[in-house]
């Protein structure tokens, strides 16, 4: 944890964060178990065409015996895109973007009819100087996911980047060019679609490479996602189950206080109105009103230093996990994943996903040999927007 930081004329007021460090926070709970349509909606939004997650006949004939969720789906069974426990306490004049995610999985798949229950805590924060906004707060929040039988499914540590809106606008790292997204011509789109289709065919049957047959330096097939548009952003947003009207409730224990509904220091038009949402659910769904509305509103995006409309960090992490899982096949399993977000996916861009085996670990902390895959996501200009690793089990 760090003290309040001063960078010349820029000062952060972090006095409200300290009292939440190490404490349970965000007692929100989804009402309903998931169903097969929730899973299908998720993979459609993530453009993840693995048939075990959407094709009933294919899934029934697989080793899973029916529709099963991808490992990335755990975040869609949560409140706040997994990031909310990293965003408690008021920083006046601030906003946030996602900074990265770390996940540990425990071998329990999510199937239709399952419900996940969460425990969340605010871990703490560090202050660093960034070109984007000067003194910037990197906050950490932890979430534990267990199913209705008490079985541990996953743990997540989310990192949020909290910054001063005025300073980000002054520095204009994401300039006005983001407000004029690239327009792709017919031939360019045909090439994108060709690469996308080739990736779908690269392991549609779910074959798993043997641990003994892969080697350091092997490259995974390239994936492309995009072009990103308002349509794709809305499709992603509505696939997170909490973003559908009436799907969750506050469930605060009698002896606890939850700071989740408190003012975080965001602009008024970027703040949920929890009283108004009881009558008009738009006022609390984030797409029309609230912190996420800047993703789809150019004026709001500009007001928080983003320059143009942009995608969701939790989606980028899902692309990462899905990419590795698709290569690993039906008998593979991602035990650990860690990502660092360098930039959002902006409107008009495409995202190329490339992976390479960088290590084979015969004796891993997970009790099985794992392959470590390093993943990079880049735009059409070569800008790196994500770096990550995944430790994945393959048949031995």
Burial 361-373 (b: 16+ CB within 10 A, else e): eeebebebebbbb
Secondary structure (DSSP) of 218-232? -BPPPEEE----HHH
Domains of the chain, CATH where assigned:
6-393 (3.10.129.10)
Give pLDDT tens digits along the chain (396 positions).
444 444 456 788 899 999 999 999 999 999 999 999 999 999 999 999 999 999 999 999 999 999 999 999 999 999 999 999 999 999 999 999 999 999 999 999 999 999 999 999 999 999 999 999 999 999 999 999 999 999 999 999 999 999 999 999 888 888 766 778 999 999 999 999 999 999 999 999 999 999 999 999 999 999 999 999 999 999 999 999 999 999 999 999 998 999 998 889 898 888 888 899 999 999 988 888 888 888 988 888 888 898 899 999 999 999 999 999 999 999 999 999 999 999 999 999 999 999 999 999 999 999 999 999 999 999 999 999 999 999 999 998
Task: Provide the pLDDT for residue 12.
Answer: 87
Task: Provide the pLDDT for residue 8.
Answer: 54
Task: Provide the pLDDT for residue 9.
Answer: 64
Secondary structure (DSSP) of 253-268? -TT---GGGS--S--G
* Contact criterion met (CB below 8 Å) for 358 and 374: yes
Task: Provide the pLDDT for residue 287.
Answer: 87
Cα–Cα distance for residue pair 25/264, rounded to 1 Å: 14
Cα–Cα distance for residue pair 217/238, rounded to 1 Å: 38
Q: Which residues pair with 117 in a beta bridge?
A: 146
Residues 6+ apart with CB under 8 A from 383: 342, 343
* Contact criterion met (CB below 8 Å) for 378 and 391: no
Task: Provide the pLDDT for residue 176.
Answer: 66
């Amino acid at each position: 944890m760090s003290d309040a930081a001063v960078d010349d004329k820029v000062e952060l007021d972090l006095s409200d964060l300290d009292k939440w460090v190490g404490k349970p926070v965000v007692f929100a709970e989804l009402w309903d178990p998931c169903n097969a349509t929730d899973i299908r909606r998720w993979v459609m939004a993530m453009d993840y065409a693995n048939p075990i997650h959407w094709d009933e006949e294919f899934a029934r004939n697989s080793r899973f015996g029916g529709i099963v969720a991808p490992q990335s789906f755990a975040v869609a069974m949560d409140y706040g895109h997994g990031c909310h426990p990293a965003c408690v306490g008021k920083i006046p004049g601030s906003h946030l973007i996602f900074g990265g995610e770390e996940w540990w999985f425990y071998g329990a798949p999510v199937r239709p009819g399952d419900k996940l229950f969460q425990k969340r805590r605010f871990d703490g924060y560090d202050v660093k100087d960034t070109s984007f906004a000067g003194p910037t707060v990197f906050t950490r929040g932890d979430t534990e996911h267990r199913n209705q039988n008490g079985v541990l499914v996953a743990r997540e540590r989310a990192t949020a980047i909290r910054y001063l809106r005025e300073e980000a606008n002054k520095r204009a790292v994401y300039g006005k060019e983001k407000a004029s997204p690239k327009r792709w011509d017919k031939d360019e789109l045909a090439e994108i679609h060709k690469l996308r289709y080739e990736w779908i065919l690269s392991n549609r049957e779910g074959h798993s490479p043997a641990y003994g047959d892969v080697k350091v330096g092997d490259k995974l097939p390239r994936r492309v996602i995009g072009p990103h548009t308002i349509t794709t952003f809305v499709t992603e947003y509505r696939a997170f189950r909490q973003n559908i009207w009436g799907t969750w409730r506050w469930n605060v224990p009698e002896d606890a206080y939850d700071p989740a509904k408190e003012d975080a220091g965001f602009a008024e038009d970027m703040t949920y109105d929890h009283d108004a949402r009881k009558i008009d659910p738009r006022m609390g769904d984030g797409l029309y009103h609230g912190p996420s509305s800047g993703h789809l509103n150019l004026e709001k995006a500009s007001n928080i230093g983003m320059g143009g409309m942009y995608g969701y960090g939790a989606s980028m992490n899902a692309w990462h996990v899905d990419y590795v899982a698709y290569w690993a096949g039906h008998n593979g399993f991602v035990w650990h994943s860690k990502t660092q977000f360098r930039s959002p996916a902006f409107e008009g861009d495409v995202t190329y996903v490339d992976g390479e085996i960088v290590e084979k670990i015969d004796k891993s902390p997970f009790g099985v040999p794992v392959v470590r895959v390093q993943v990079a996501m880049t735009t059409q200009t070569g800008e790196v927007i994500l770096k990550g690793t995944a430790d994945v089990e393959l048949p031995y």
